[in-house]
Structure 1
């Protein structure tokens, strides 16, 4: 065991404690899988990452991503948070983009010149219609009626999300799922709803309350208002509700943009039911690549004994 540099980063928020926290061990050399899993279970965050020298010649660094329940091949907020921590620790990319190596392969990241906000290129997405029996069980666990479901899709970009597009933001925010039932089904579930083009008075009032609570100035209606409200339940990984979920947001963007339900660029909101204020920036470049971005802020900087 030795002292290793460590950061805890808040992702998808520029304000500490309003996004999704990530623990980052900046030097995981010499640690075996059991030690990585043990520390991830101890942090009890949705994800903990461990940085290593790359083994791929094109990569700038390598990351391994662990939940309290196991390792993930890819995840969104750990990608942004790990890159933020790596850059703060003096990491220098070899080219114009930052190349992260993870179990799913190489992920490209870029920095917005004006804000220094990071964004990752959404990995290739596999889509399929969910099994009808499983979907019915998930809807029962969520407490969702058939008439509240607009569309469904299974989204796979490393993590696999059974995803439901619901009829309203109010429906999404009001759900109180049966987490034991979801855990028994061993499936991660994402739910989302589109904001109306003209926000309803209850949504405007909610936006203003959140702006005041989180110390932000916000016009009504706001030019930076979200277009999508999202929640993610990952009981199979030991996470009842994830504050802000990059992999789910990436899959949703690719699905909903392709079907013409959303146009990029747009903002997505996540975490309100947990007292968070996560904002995810979605863009689509001329080549059709979807980019998933968010602010990051370091909250803890020090060393861990591992």
Structure 2
């Protein structure tokens, strides 16, 4: 029997963000057992908290989609930190929690009711080949000229970020999930001044995963790096995501020199035990 939590990440109102399942004290479970349980929960991701192997870390986490393990993902990082705190974990003297995951050590800080992680470096960050852009335009069912810019933004998930002219164009997308193949596409466009947020984001997965993610920390981290470097986004902004899915995701971005901080509100929604 293991302590079990479900948390809602990146929404001010519970059940309007992205759900995460968290299994505590999972050191006795094999990777195969973790993967099977993650497949059963059928959520975008399920995480397993373990004792750290790095002396600098407060805890270690393994992150699974329904079909694979990820070295890093954004909303599982914030959700795992929240679950760890609710189970008795404490923030260090500098207000930072240190998470160990497949990508290494990730700093998580708590301030003003929000948790925020410092994004790990992108492992692939380069322009996208024209043949891939043609394929992406076909998948999104838009004209190639509507893709204003694109970049690989790999930080665990294998994101390709594409930029459209407006949030309205982003919200109007109706791609056929059967055409995605192995692509992981993140789309961003600027909002009107009266919208209350600065950018609208959507995330589409191919393969066996959930085909549109409600709110995505890893994608927003990559988009923030890219848009800061290209002068598209200010050092601080708020992105909305999940609108088409009936969610109200709000991702708070802060660019502090070379550091990208990705934050949002996290709510504990379910607490109990699971038999594994």
Query: Under TM normalisation by the shorter chain, which class is it?
Result: over 0.9
Q: Which runs of 4+ in 1 moved over 6 A?
A: none
The reply to whether residue 279 of structure 1 matches residue 239 of structure 2 is no
Q: In the alignment, which residue of structure 1 is the partner of 2:100?
A: 101
* Cα distance in 1 for residues equivalent to 2:92 and 2:248: 33
State the shift of 1:29 in Å. 1.6
2:92, 2:262 → 1: CA distance? 21
Per the alignment, in what secondary structure is the counterpart of residue 41 of structure 1?
helix
Cα contact 1:67–1:237 (8 A) shared by 2: no
CA distance in 2, matches of 1:71, 1:131: 27
In the alignment, structure 1 residue 190 sits paired with structure 2 residue 161? no
Distance (whole Å) between structure 2 residues aligned to residue 237 and residue 246 of structure 1: 20
Unmatched segments (≥5 aa) in structure 1: 205-224
Partner Cα distance (2:147, 2:139) in 1? 14
Contact 1:226 1:269 in 2 (8 A): yes
> Given the alignment of the two structures, is residue 46 of structure 1 paired with residue 44 of structure 2, yes or no?
yes
Distance 1:69 1:237 in 2: 7
**Is residue 110 of structure 1 aligned with residue 103 of structure 2?**
no
TM-score, normalised via structure 1 length? 0.87
User: Which stretch shifts more, 132-141 or 293-302?
Assistant: 132-141
Given candidates 152, 155, 159, the residue that maps to 2:153 is 155
TM-score of the superposed pair, with normalisation by structure 2: 0.96
SS at match of 1:21: strand
The structure that has the greater radius of gyration is 1
Instruction: Report deviation, 1:274.
Output: 0.5
Relative to structure 1, the CA distance from residue 237 to residue 57 in structure 2 (aligned partners, 3 Å threshold; closer, same or farther) is farther
The size of the alignment, in residue pairs, is: 274
1:124 matches 2:121: yes
Instruction: Find 2:240's aligned residue among 269, 292, 295.
Output: 269
1-structure distance, mates of 2:248, 2:92: 33
Shift of 1:95: 4.4
Counterpart of 1:247 in structure 2 is 218
Indicate whether 1:296 and 2:263 are aligned.
no
